[in-house]
Structure 1
């Protein structure tokens, strides 16, 4: 049955792109995501806690905690309790990042604000140890999560949000090909301070180009014998 009210509005006002075949995306299950340099696994305290703690305590100045909502742990038992809580969470759904070569656990990432009905999902709670930062492993981890969300789970929108003052996070999102959408002022209070939140996204129409760029950058022949990149992601994107 036609709705004459909606038909009349549609004839006179602009409306969004029709999505007649849209039936929603799938909820991530925490399955292992395997890459050339890194793999993402569901948290297992027996296998991951020791090496993850060892990786994190290399951050002797606690700089990686600056824009996180939590503070450094007092000791290993407190860390274990915290990690066990994360392992039970479904949204955010946490992964550990494991070095394929050494089998050491190097950091954490998650999917959150998971909305399969609307096809939107966010990547966040990124906590990379010093050894993981600015590495092939961290870039590949972000690629694997994007690929899983778009190609396997069917999401339309992939979000990245950060404290607007977190320039390293802003730079990382833009390097990966996210588009800045704006800043939500006074969006949160954490650690008794204000947070304005910067929003970034990649949508499904943009993903094929981002995927190609990331795969070109991650290819072994893009790195010399010392592991230094030959072409940056920005150079690849602009070529």
Structure 2
């Protein structure tokens, strides 16, 4: 039933949540396959550049507002600034098996007053792509936002032409909400931005789906998944 105010107008449901919510901090988030650590340029930059440099080409950077980086020094200069930033708040994804950093992602556009937060700057090296690490990295950050910080809405935005990013959002349980036309200029080109979200009422079912998929029993001897992620 829709609430109405004293004028008989329909209004949104009352929010029973203390606001603002806490801002995310430089925490370490540990999982079965990977660990998220606050980005530290002195500790992570050289290995991250090497992991990214293993790609066959620079296509991973096409839809990112930064990069590609031609030398370790160029990447280190960017990482120094990124590590000092509070929004976006960047995390390195560490492979628990090897201890190597293999990618980064961030929490950004942090709106504590409305309990809304976005995941962005997702750059996973070839060694992370299509692995349990990539899924778990996202699950860890979602759990931090929903379970620990108490946010109501978790967003994913991407270039509307970035089909791999759109497929990833849908696989992870995000709902497509629409496209903002000519929303930005990125690397000199017009960008339409596709918006996706997960809201707090959807999170318990999604969290359970991640738990089932990330169970080590769901993976074969070569690390292949036995059952697909059913986030919805």
TM-score scaled by structure 2?
0.95
- Deviation string 1:14-39 (CA, Å, 9 cap, x unpaired) is 10001244333110111001001100
Which position in structure 2 is the counterpart of 1:135? 131
Kindly report the root-mean-square deviation, in angstroms, between the aligned alpha carbons of the 2 structures: 1.3
Say if 1:115 and 1:121, in contact at 8 Å, map to a contact too.
yes
Which position in structure 2 is the counterpart of 1:83? 79
Match of 2:155 among 148, 156, 159: 159
Say if 2:19 and 2:115, in contact at 8 Å, map to a contact too.
no
CA distance in 2 between partners of 1:77 and 1:15 (Å): 54
What stretches of structure 1 of length at least 5 have no aligned partner?
A: 1-7
- The 1:31/1:21 distance shift into structure 2, 3 A limit, reads closer
Which position in structure 1 is the counterpart of 2:211? 215
Q: Is 1:25–2:21 an aligned residue pair?
A: yes
Say if 2:19 and 2:114, in contact at 8 Å, map to a contact too.
no
Partner SS, residue 206 of structure 1: helix
Bigger Cα Rg: 1
Which position in structure 2 is the counterpart of 1:118? 114
> Runs ≥4 in structure 1, deviation > 4 angstroms?
none
> Which residues in structure 2 correspond to 1:89-100 (within 5 Å)?
89-100=85-96
Match of 1:107 among 103, 126, 130: 103
Partner SS, residue 186 of structure 1: strand
Structure with greater helix share of residues: 1
Say if 1:24 and 1:154, in contact at 8 Å, map to a contact too.
no
Moved more, 167-176 or 51-60: 51-60
CA distance in 2 between partners of 1:20 and 1:46 (Å): 43
TM-score scaled by structure 1?
0.92
